[in-house]
Chains A and B, each alone.
Chain A
Amino acid sequence: MVRLKHRYFLAEIIFPDGRRLQRNIKSNDVYFSVREALHAAYGDYGIGVLKSSLMVKYLNKDTHMVIVRAKRDFYRLAQAALTFVKKIGEHDAFLNTLHIGGTIRACQKFLIRHHRQHLPLLYQECDTQEERDNVQLMLLSSCVDMETFSKKTEEKERSLSEIAGESLT
């Protein structure tokens, strides 16, 4: 089949001077810094090989999460290039790869799980009561989502077993 297969890297941009500052980073900045790193490490061959497939698919300025795409055959080159990134835009930063997935959806699923796990940590970092309340609300809503999610799956399983039971009798 003529299906172009890619790998999607979910990476967190880590700024050494703390996380709270408001930064204006664009997906273009990330793209060019990855390309520069690729050129520095693998030269013209590295760029030639990933020229058509290297792309920044998702960037969240506030959570500093980025999804970068590369072709499956050469994704190791791209991953190595990600580790060599030193600067994004004007800011010093580096990329910490969290997950490599075959589809964007897989990366997004991981991202949701990752955020859910790290919300309680955020709660500890809060300074004011207002912030704490906000985070608590977020936590609760995510738990509610989890409850409804688990309830839905329970219902589905019950209905499936009923149907299976009917077919047997």
Chain B
Amino acid sequence: MAAFADLHVASTDQQVLQDVFQTAIKCFDWLAVNTFLTDLKGKGKKGQQQNQICQPEPVELTDQTRQLLKVEGRKVRQISRLTALLDDTTNTHKLVSPEVQAFDLLAVQPTNEAAFKLACCTLEVDIIVLNMTEKLSFYIKRPLVNLAIERGMHFEILYSPAVRDSTFRQNTISNALQLTSVCKGKNVIVSSGCEKAIELRGPYDLSNLGLLFGLSSPQSKNAVSKNCRAVLKHAEARKMMKSVVGVVKSSQLSPGDQWILDSKRPLSALPQTTQEIEQPPAKKGKT
């Protein structure tokens, strides 16, 4: 199977995150650290404090972690992610603000039917999370889900609450079954939502857990690998807006991509080429 990703690490404490990373690097190639936003409102009335969206900070890997990575010869990419709780359908302009767009992945957690409809039809987000730990207050409708799938959005099932508590487990299974029966198992990702390192599980176990959630065997494998990649691609595409070409400064190219510069012709050769083009092509004489 391809590379695995865990796209929802819920903890925000640096110490805990370091532990999580140390545990997760053995199996996962991409890890997304989540910031949860409970309120999408702008400036509050009567001078209330605005919800400050902290800038995503990379997690400092410990020396031990770095050592492990060196030994295995692997790289782990950190991705920043923002999950916004969507209650009110009128206050969504903040999602387009530059502070929010600074995050790599955008996710939305709708709490009612109107919010879910908005998320599926209009909002530019990558992932739709549903709170699986309690009974869903609305029915997931097929046309909305199909529209979301067409737009490239994915639905997320969190498994850490199921590991934590028995009631959460029952509700997660119940809600996940409802979701997968509506979306036919397409565009589903399974991620942890872990608050401690102990709540993580390996990707092969997760693909088995997907069978409990109503996914078929290949769908369940995709949920941990292929669909996560699709989410990341969707996020990249969203950042680039509607473009076909992306421009990157040569000074900002990663060392792995430097070969692109080396293989091109040197700049001094360019004017000659333009001269060649300007001269009209010599006509062939009649033979």
Residues of A at under 8 Å CB distance from B? 2, 44-45, 47-49, 51-52
Given A48-B172, A52-B178, 5 other A-B residues pairs in contact with their CB atoms under 8 A: A44-B173, A45-B173, A49-B174, A51-B173, A51-B174
- Nearest A residue to B213 via CB reads A48
A47 contacts across to B, CB distance below 8 A? 170
Q: Does the CB pair B166–A48 fall under 8 Å?
A: no
Interface size on B, residues (CB 8 A): 11
Say how far A54's CB is from chain B's closest CB, in angstroms.
Answer: 11
A48 contacts across to B, CB distance below 8 A? 169-174, 177
The answer to the question of B142 belonging to the interface, with a C-beta cut-off of 8 Å to chain A, is yes
The answer to the question of B212 belonging to the interface, with a C-beta cut-off of 8 Å to chain A, is yes
Q: Max chain A CB contacts within 10 Å: which of B142, B173, B178, B212? A: B173
- Other-chain contact of A51, B142, B166, B170 (Cβ < 8 Å): B170
B166 contacts across to A, CB distance below 8 A? 44
- Nearest B residue to A52 via CB reads B174
Complex CA–CA separation, A49 to B171 (angstroms): 9
Complex CA–CA separation, A52 to B173 (angstroms): 11
B169 contacts across to A, CB distance below 8 A? 44-45, 48
- Nearest B residue to A44 via CB reads B169
Chain B 210-243 interface 0/1 with A at a Cβ cutoff of 8 Å (1 = within):
0010000000000000000000000000000000
B170 contacts across to A, CB distance below 8 A? 44, 47-48, 51
Complex CA–CA separation, A113 to B177 (angstroms): 37
Say how far A41's CB is from chain B's closest CB, in angstroms.
Answer: 14
Q: Does the CB pair B174–A45 fall under 8 Å?
A: no
Q: Max chain A CB contacts within 10 Å: which of B166, B169, B177, B212? A: B177
Complex CA–CA separation, A166 to B212 (angstroms): 61
- Nearest A residue to B167 via CB reads A44
Known: A51-B170, A51-B171. A45 touches B178 (CB 8 A): no
Complex CA–CA separation, A45 to B171 (angstroms): 10
- Other-chain contact of B177, A2, A44, A49 (Cβ < 8 Å): A49
Q: Does the CB pair A2–B142 fall under 8 Å?
A: yes
Complex CA–CA separation, A2 to B182 (angstroms): 9
A51 contacts across to B, CB distance below 8 A? 170-171, 173-174
A44 contacts across to B, CB distance below 8 A? 166, 169-170, 173
Which residues between 169 and 189 of chain B lie within 8 Å of chain A, taking CB atoms? 169-174, 177-178
Q: Max chain B CB contacts within 10 Å: which of A2, A44, A45, A48? A: A48
Complex CA–CA separation, A45 to B212 (angstroms): 8
Chain B 72-91 interface 0/1 with A at a Cβ cutoff of 8 Å (1 = within):
00000000000000000000
- Nearest B residue to A74 via CB reads B177
B142 contacts across to A, CB distance below 8 A? 2
Q: Write 25 A-B pairs (CB below 8 A) sorted by A numbering.
A: A2-B142, A44-B166, A44-B169, A44-B170, A44-B173, A45-B169, A45-B173, A45-B212, A47-B170, A48-B169, A48-B170, A48-B171, A48-B172, A48-B173, A48-B174, A48-B177, A49-B173, A49-B174, A49-B177, A51-B170, A51-B171, A51-B173, A51-B174, A52-B174, A52-B178
Say how far A74's CB is from chain B's closest CB, in angstroms.
Answer: 9
B174 contacts across to A, CB distance below 8 A? 48-49, 51-52
